Homo-oligomer: A and B are copies of this chain.
Amino acid sequence: VTDWFACNELVEQFAISDRGFHYGDGLFETIAIRDGEARLWPLHMDRLASGCETLNITMPAQDSLLHGAMHAVRHSGISADSCLLKIVVSAGSGARGYGRATVDTPSILFGVSPWLSPPIEFYRDGIETVLCRTRLAINSATAGLKTLNRLEQVLARSEFNASNIYEGLTMDADDDVICGTMSNVFFVKDKTILTPSLDRCGVAGVMRRHVLATLDAVGKEVVIQGVRVAELSRVSEVFVSNSQFGILPVTRCAEHAWDVGAVTREIMDIMANNGIAECRS
């Protein structure tokens, strides 16, 4: 269950004319709250600001967002030690029709949900994934952004339901593996760390960016380059990242199997030492 807040009030409903509902005209961030702090807050704010710029929505002041977020966390029935915070910024109520001017005062909602950790074995032994049939459309005008248009992820994530499958990897129409339904993906191939470009489709995850920055700081190169589905058999390690779980090794996707490799273990240790404690293996 999620407790929702708007204007510092607990709410259960919102305006039926909201453009977020009718067109998906808005953005969201899902943020890990750990020990009362909003983890990777500046990176979440950066992505939200990029989204606002593309959608022509005036980015809300970051301090008022943080204030509203922390009010919601404190007034929810959920412990601020560990919970999930969702911030939705939508274009708000509007007249009929797709077109609109700049939105200066977007609707802002804060949702607080219980923390749901993957089992500890997933970090140690890795996760199994499927290869989703649902493809990501190419050259999306909102590629990389976390907009309220998420039908591709809904369709892809709804393809699997087995308890031993934790994630699905999605391809674009050119057979490039782009990301998971709720995560970004990294590959180790010929000792090189690769992660796909998100310029044409997919969501540029905040944890992905934190991984890239952290590895850059310790002198480890990551090449922004995709892997075709046909190349999966030539990859030696796979892992996925997201802002809640950090990093999880992937040991299976469709007919391909991998061990939890040394590179993944080392990166998880590095991330654990840079604020993502649950990566401690």
Contact = CB atoms under 8 A, between A and B. Distances in A.
Contacts of A97: 157, 182
A62 interface: no
Interface string A13-53: 11111111111110010000000000000000000000000
Contacts of A91: 154
A167 to B, nearest CB: 11
A141 B135 contact: yes
A281 interface: no
A109 interface: yes
A55 interface: yes
Contacts of A23: 24, 148-151, 153-154
A2 B17 contact: yes
A155 interface: yes
Contacts of A113: 96
Contacts of A11: 16
Contact of A137 (B98, B138, B148): B138
Q: How many copies does the complex hold?
A: 2
- Taking residues whose C-beta sits less than 8 angstroms from the other chain, chain A's interface range is 35 or more
A179 to B, nearest CB: 12
Contacts of A139: 135, 137-138, 172-173
Given A22-B148, A99-B161, A155 B134 contact: no
A201 interface: yes
A57 to B, nearest CB: 11
A156 interface: yes
A28 B24 contact: no
A161 B56 CA distance: 14
Contact of A16 (B13, B98, B149, B181): B13
Contacts of A21: 14, 18, 20-21, 88, 90, 148
Given A22-B28, A99-B181, A138-B139, 16 more contacts: A4-B17, A14-B16, A21-B88, A23-B24, A23-B150, A23-B154, A55-B154, A56-B158, A84-B96, A97-B157, A97-B182, A137-B141, A137-B201, A138-B173, A148-B151, A149-B151
